[in-house]
Amino acid sequence: MALDRKLARWTEAGLISREQAESIRAFETGQGKTSLVYALAGLAGLAMAIGCVSIVAANWDVVPGRMKLGIDLCVMAVLGYGVVRLRERGPGWLADAASVVLYGLTLASIALVGQVYQLGGDPVAALGFWSLCTFPLMSLGQSRGIALIWLLGLQTTYGFALTKLDVLHTRFDGLALAATGFAPLGALLIGRSVRVRSRRPLLAVVAERLGWAEWLILASAGTLGFYDRPSAGDEPWFLVGSALSFAGVLWLARGLDASDPGARTSRWLLLGAWAAAYVPLSLPHGNIPLAAALSFIALWYLVALTAYRSGQRWTLNYATAAIGVRLLIVYFEVFGSLLDTGLGLVTGGLLTLLLIWLWSRRRRAFERGSQVLAAREVPK
C-alpha cells in the first residue's frame, strides 16, 4: 500500500513513467513474496526443531532407549540426505527449512544421548559440541532467517560458556562480566568481515544488525551501573576484558569508511556505547541516577545522529522513542523530598525542551535530505 502511494506520487510528479512504476511494483512484490516464503519456511523449520527437543525432553518410556537412538539416527540420516538433495536442486527455502530442522534435531539428539546414558547434563559441553558439529551445516544457509537462528545459537552457546567461567572460579566473575560484550562485537566483526560480505552477504547483513542491536542493548544496560555496580567490576580481570573489548571497538572503527558521514558517526557511537557499557561498572561511585539518565540519553542521541546521517528513518524514530521513554522515567525517579522533586522536575523539563529543540531542527533537515535522496534513487 505504501509503495503504491509512493509510486502514484512519483508518477504524478513526473519523476518516473507509468512503465517504470509498474516495473518497480513487480520487482518489489516479487522480492516480498520470496522473503515471505523464506521467513515462513524458517519459522516452520524452527517450530519443528523445537518440537523435536520437546519430544526428547518428554522422555517417552514406551520405546527403549537404544531403539530411540536408532530411530533418531535414521531420521537424521534421511533428513541429511534431503538437505543435500535440496541444496543441489532447490528450492532454496526448503533446503534452509530442512537445515534448521536438522540443526534442532542435532541438539535434541545430543540431549537424547545424555538422557539414555544418564550423562548428567553439562549444558556447556552439549551446546559446544552441537555448535561444532553443525557449523558447516548452518554456514551453507542462504536466507536471513537461518543466519539469525545460527548466530543466536552460537551466542547462546557462548553465553552458557561464560556462566561456566563464572562457576569455575570466582576470580573470573569480572572476566565473565566484561566478556558479555564480546558476543555483539563478534557479530559486528563477522558482519564487517570482507570475506563474509563477499561470500555470504545475507549472513553479513544479519550479523551486523544483530551486533548493533545487542551492542546498544548492552550499552543501555551498562548505564544502569550508575545506580548500583556489581562487585565483579572491581576485579582486575574485568579491566582485562574491558581492554580487550576496547581493542575490538577500535578495530571495528578503523574499518569504517571515513568519507561516509554516517560511518563517521558510527565510530563515535561504537566508542560511546563502549564507554556506556563499561565505564559505569569499572569506576567506583555511589548511586547517581542523573548520570544514568544522561549517559543513556547521550548514547541514544548518538544512535539518532548516526541514523539521521545514514538516512535510516526507522532507527531515528526508535532512538527518539527510547529517549522519550527514558525522560519519562526521570520524571518518576525525581519524586522524593520537595527539594529533590523540584530540582529533578526542573532538570527533566530543561532536558525535554533541549531535546525537542534539537529534534525539530534535525527533523526538518532530515526530511529535506530524505526527499533529495528519494529523488536521486528513482530509476531513470
Partner 1 sequence: MTRPLSKLAVVLPLLGLLLLITRAELALRANNGFRLAITGYDPRDLLGGHYLEYTYAFDWQGPSSCGSLGPDGHPASLDPACCVCLTRRGDDETPWARQVECGMVQGCDGWLRSAPLLPPSRYFVPEQHAATLEGLLRQRQASVEVTSSPDGEPALGELWLDGRPWRELVGP
CB 58 → partner 1: shortest distance, Å?
5
Residue 11 interacts with partner 1 (CB under 8 A): yes or no: no
- String of contacts with partner 1 for each residue 111-130, x by CB under 8 A: --xxxxxxxxxx------x-
Instruction: Please give the span between the terminal C-alpha atoms of the chain, in angstroms, as a whole number.
Output: 23
Which region, judged by CB under 8 A, interacts with partner 1, from 106-114, 193-201, 221-229, 331-339?
Answer: 106-114
Identify whether the C-beta of residue 101 lies closer than 8 Å to the C-beta of residue 49.
Answer: yes
| Alpha carbon distances (Å) from 223 to 274, 276, 361 | 11, 6, 27
134 vs 282, beta carbon nearer partner 1: 134
Pick one of 7, 21, 41, 83: the residue that binds partner 1 (CB under 8 A): 83
Residue 53 or 294: which CB sits closer to partner 1? 53
Please identify, using beta-carbon distances, which residue of 59 and 317 lies nearer to partner 1. Answer: 59
How far apart are CB 101 and partner 1 at their closest, in Å? 12
Q: Which is nearer to partner 1, 86 or 148 (CB)?
A: 86
Count of residues engaged in binding partner 1, rule: CB under 8 A? 40
Q: Which of residues 127-146 bind partner 1 (CB under 8 A)?
A: 129, 132-137, 139-140
Question: Which residue type is seen at 296?
Answer: F
Of 217, 142, 220, give the one whose Cα is nearest residue 187: 217
77, burial (CB in 10 Å: exposed 0-12, middle 13-18, buried 19+): exposed
Closer residue to partner 1 (CB): 143 or 266: 143
Mark residues 40-79: x for contact with partner 1 by CB under 8 A, - for none: -----------------xxxxx-------x--xx--xx-x
Which residue's CB is nearer to partner 1, number 95 or number 275?
Answer: 95
User: Please, how many CA atoms are within 13 Å of residue 142, restricted to the half-sphere of its CB?
Assistant: 18
Instruction: Please tell me whether the peptide bond between 201 and the residue prior to it is cis, using omega within 30 degrees of 0.
Output: no
Quote the least distance from Cβ 106 to partner 1, whole Å: 4
Closer CB to partner 1, 145 or 280, in the complex: 145
Of the candidate residues 102, 154, 203, 319, the single one contacting partner 1 (CB under 8 A): 102
Dihedral (CA of 164, 169, 175, 177) sign:
positive
Q: Of 137-196, which residues contact partner 1 (CB under 8 A)?
A: 137, 139-140
Q: What is the Cα–Cα distance from 156 to 122, expressed in whole angstroms?
A: 14
Residue 90 CB, nearest distance to partner 1 (Å)?
A: 12
Q: How far is the CB of 116 from partner 1 (least distance, A)?
A: 8
**Closer residue to partner 1, CB minimum distance, 14 or 120:** 120
Q: Which member of 9, 13, 81, 91 binds partner 1 (CB under 8 A)?
A: 81
What minimum distance in Å lies between the beta carbon of 142 and partner 1?
11
Residue 149 or 316 with smaller CB distance to partner 1: 149
d(CA 232, CA 151) in angstroms, rounded, equals 27
Q: How far apart are CA 266 and CA 258, in angstroms?
A: 10
How far CA 261 is from CA of 209, 268, 329, in Å, comes to 19, 11, 32
The smaller minimum CB distance to partner 1, of residues 87 and 363, is found at 87
| Whether 268 contacts 234, CB under 8 Å | no
Q: Using CB under 8 A, which of 41, 109, 225, 348 touches partner 1?
A: 109
CA distances from 365 to 294, 309, 334 (A): 25, 10, 34
Q: Which of 80, 159, 261, 262 binds partner 1 (CB under 8 A)?
A: 80
Burial of 338 (0-12, 13-18, 19+ CB in 10 A): exposed
Residues ≥6 apart with Cβ < 8 Å to 244 = 178, 179, 182
Q: Which long-range contacts does 308-317 make (Cβ < 8 Å, 24+ apart)?
A: 308/362, 308/365, 308/366, 309/261, 309/262, 309/264, 309/265, 310/260, 310/261, 310/262, 310/263, 310/265, 310/266, 311/262, 311/369, 311/370, 311/373, 313/366, 313/370, 316/366
Taking the complex as a whole, the smallest distance from the CB of residue 154 to partner 1 amounts, in Å, to 15
Residue length of the chain: 380
Enumerate binding residues for partner 1 (CB under 8 A): 57-61, 69, 72-73, 76-77, 79-81, 83-84, 87-88, 102, 106, 109-110, 113-122, 129, 132-137, 139-140
